[in-house]
Structure 1
Amino acid sequence: MPKSKRNREVTLSKVKKKPRTWKEGLITQVRELVDRYPSAYVFQHSNMRNDKFKELREKHLDTSRFCMGSTKLLQVGLGRSQVDEYQDNLSQLSATLTGAVGLFFTSLPHAEVSSIFESFQEEDFARAGMKATEDVDLQEGPLEGPSGPLPHTLEPSLRKHGLPTKLDRSVVTLLQNHRVCSTGERLSPDQAHLLRVFGIKMAVFRMRLLSHWLKDGGVFEELAEQEDAESDEGLDVDGMPGELPASMLLPPGVLV
């Protein structure tokens, strides 16, 4: 019997290519920001959290703009060599655009910019696929979360995610000692869910300045080397490689 044409595997992770107009729009945005602001920085980010990032960029909206997207397109906007660089020495800034990085354009003095980035740090829950930073053990008996005893309605969900629990007079009870995760272990979706239930945060969203370019005189300065830090960029909810969130990508004509 011939194989049915209806039984076809469909790849749900397939992503449409960005159109040429979108790419040109990002390049144009970069150059407009170079013209508008007296200095530019390349920063490295780890464990990006969109809500916290949005708060930071809105706080400095009057003086600065963040620009994130394809590093190749950002490099084209600045110029990859002295031959095609948009302004003097921007190709040196462009050369530091590798990995999980973005551009920060500002009119703030360098000391204030350094203070903003050095003081910015937000703890959050680890996602599936990240490495555990500590051993987490639960002891047999009644279970408590960050706000006290766990609600009895949560018990079926805990069993679903691998905890040996039962309800004892409406109290969520662990039947035996249980290790949720071990240091250095890649977290499964079940482990990441349990860590969230018990309020244990293992991810830190932070940003580091890597390089600085000053329009006046085209002065370039390298501030730090990239860190090979643990990060959950590019991981989807199941801990598998995936696309960055759409809210982190810049549509043409929109500046962050």
Structure 2
Amino acid sequence: MVKSKRDKDVSLTKVKKKTKEGKVQMVAEVRKCVDHYKNLFIFTIANMRSNRFIDVRQKYKETSRFFFGKNNVLAVALGKHKSDEYANDLHRVSSSLKGQCGLMFTNLTKATVLKEVAKASEEDFARVGDTAKETIVLPEGHLEQFSFSMEPQLRKLGMPTKLDKGIVALYQDFEVCKEGEPLTADQAKILKLLDIKMSQFKLIFKGHWESKKGFSELDTTA
């Protein structure tokens, strides 16, 4: 009997060792950043987009270092309690690491971070489950932005379409989405085809720490 190529033995010992080494290295890197950078910020991300976050990291790579995710490892590096914190008041930073969040170590001033980084945002297309920001209703009539070949796809997405002399048309009014309601997969696709963006990528800063003044909570949600 031919042995399946999928039936391969995996050494769990090696996997665990590699994972442990990665955690130890991250702890060391975080502590090095505490010593090197002037300011530390806790942040969350509204409407996470990996490519957008990469752009932010690249933009501030000369002045800052970002860590995102792995809250427990970050908390261990900073210290979970007053008795084991790496520097004064860092246990309060650890206590604030809840949900999807990260750390930004930076030599930028607090004012610069809150004025520039926190205010920088980018519109993007909404995804499945995102909440519709407004009600979108398309009136009966021609949809001249679409080629005739798109008509079957639009109809498949639930739009009441037909071809009228080679032009895609709605034969009745069509509500794409309703404000306040979560978007379905079809609704998200339709909004993208219509080039309507309802999502906004943004860093939201929850707290700030510096060695002399310690930790303080922030509110940059507005």
- TM-score (ref. length: structure 1): 0.74
Q: 1:219 & 1:62 partners in 2: Cα distance? A: 24
Q: Is 1:190 aligned to 2:186, yes or no?
A: yes
Cα displacement string for residues 88-119 of structure 1 (whole angstroms, at most 9, x for unaligned residues) = 11111111111232100001122111112332
Q: Is there any run of 5+ residues in structure 2 with no aligned partner, and where?
A: 1-14
Partner of 2:7: none
Which digits, 9 at most, give the CA deviation of each residue in 1:28-85, with x for residues without a partner?
Answer: 3322222221221101211012222222211111111111022222211211111111
* Counterpart residue number, 2:146: 150
| Aligned residue identity for 1:38 | K
* Contact 1:88–1:218 (CA under 8 A) maintained in structure 2: no
Larger relative helix fraction: 2
Residue 222 of structure 1 pairs with residue 217 of structure 2: yes
Contact 1:87 / 1:218 at 8 angstroms: preserved in 2?
no
Separation in 1, partners of 2:22, 2:159: 47
Q: CA deviation at 1:214?
A: 0.9
Aligned length in residues: 207
Q: Provide the C-alpha distance between the structure 2 equivalents of 1:75 and 1:218, rounded to a whole number of angstroms.
A: 20
Instruction: Indicate yes or no: 2:183 matched with 1:180.
Output: no
How far is the alpha carbon of 1:190 from its aligned partner?
Answer: 0.5
**Letter paired with 2:150:** L
- The answer to whether the aligner puts 1:26 opposite 2:26 as a matched pair is yes
Instruction: Give 1:202 deviation, angstroms.
Output: 1.3
Q: Which amino acid aligns with 1:49?
A: R
Q: Tell me the CA shift for residue 218 of structure 1.
A: 5.5
Separation of aligned partners in 2, 1:92 and 1:24:
21
Q: Distance between the aligned counterparts of 2:21 and 2:198, measured in 1?
A: 40
- Contiguous gaps of at least 5 residues in structure 1: 1-15, 230-256
Within 5 Å, give how 1:35-184 maps onto structure 2.
35-144=35-144, 149-184=145-180
The structural deviation recorded for 1:135 is: 0.9
d(CA) in 1 for partners of 2:47, 2:124: 9
1:205: which partner in 2? 201
**Whole-Å separation in 1 of the counterparts to 2:177 and 2:109:** 44
Q: Kindly tell me: are residues 90 and 218 of structure 1, through their superposed partners in 2, closer, same or farther at Cα, counting changes over 3 Å?
A: farther
Is the 8 Å Cα contact of residues 46 and 202 (structure 2) preserved in structure 1? yes
Partner of 1:235: none
Runs of 4 or more above 6 Å deviation: none
Q: Is the 8 A contact 2:31 2:77 kept in 1?
A: yes
What TM-score do you get using the length of structure 2 for normalisation? 0.85
Offset of residue 224 of structure 1: 2.6
Does the residue aligned with 1:187 lie in a helix, a strand or coil?
coil
Counterpart code for 2:217? E
